[in-house]
Amino acid sequence: MATENDIVLVYLEDSPIFFARVEAIWPDVKKDWFNIELLVLQVPVKLIVWTLKDIYINGIEFFMGGKKMRMEVVQVPRDEFEMDEDSNTAFSQSKNNNPFSNKNSNKKNQAPRDTDLEESQKESASGADKTGHVVSLADFQKKKKDNQ
């Protein structure tokens, strides 16, 4: 059953129509029925409250205004974000393949030294560094001013 803070995908006639976050679920005055408050994730966002049986909240088809509806909890595909060791992708959750670590340092969590930064700037100026790096705005403006 969908619970608070779950993301659900709502289908109309077997076609997905919107995502929503479950804000709250509480019993209705009618026996075996529940009110479900959904934050519809569209522009603009809006709150809706539907009165449904628990089996409908669990994903069984129901009818609204003569149209077949269904609600399904969205499962986040966590393993899609895992990367191979050989991957050149910049975003990886692997601790052994941290793209944000200092490539010139063998110690984890060590701050980059000035010489490392100078080497990195020389590499990028020569075109040897193809992965990109962060440039401070002040250095960029100074370099731009010097080139003019």
User: Which is it for the CA torsion 29, 41, 9, 4, positive or negative?
Assistant: negative
> Where are the chain's structural domains?
7-73, 91-121
Q: Distance between CA atoms of 135 and 115, rounded to whole angstroms?
A: 15
Q: What is the pLDDT of residue 78?
A: 76
Q: What is the pLDDT of residue 105?
A: 45
The answer to whether the beta carbons of residues 59 and 70 sit under 8 Å apart is yes
Instruction: State percent of the chain over pLDDT 90.
Output: 48
Structure tokens at 92: 């990886």
For 35, how many CA atoms within 13 A lie in the half-sphere containing its CB?
A: 11
- Region 94-101: mean pLDDT is 50
Please write the tens of the pLDDT for every residue from 111-130. 555 555 555 555 555 554 45
Q: Could you tell me the pTM of the whole model?
A: 0.53
C-alpha pair distances (Å), 83 with each of 29, 87, 88, 109, 129: 50, 6, 9, 21, 22
pLDDT tier for residue 59 given thresholds of 50, 70 and 90: very high
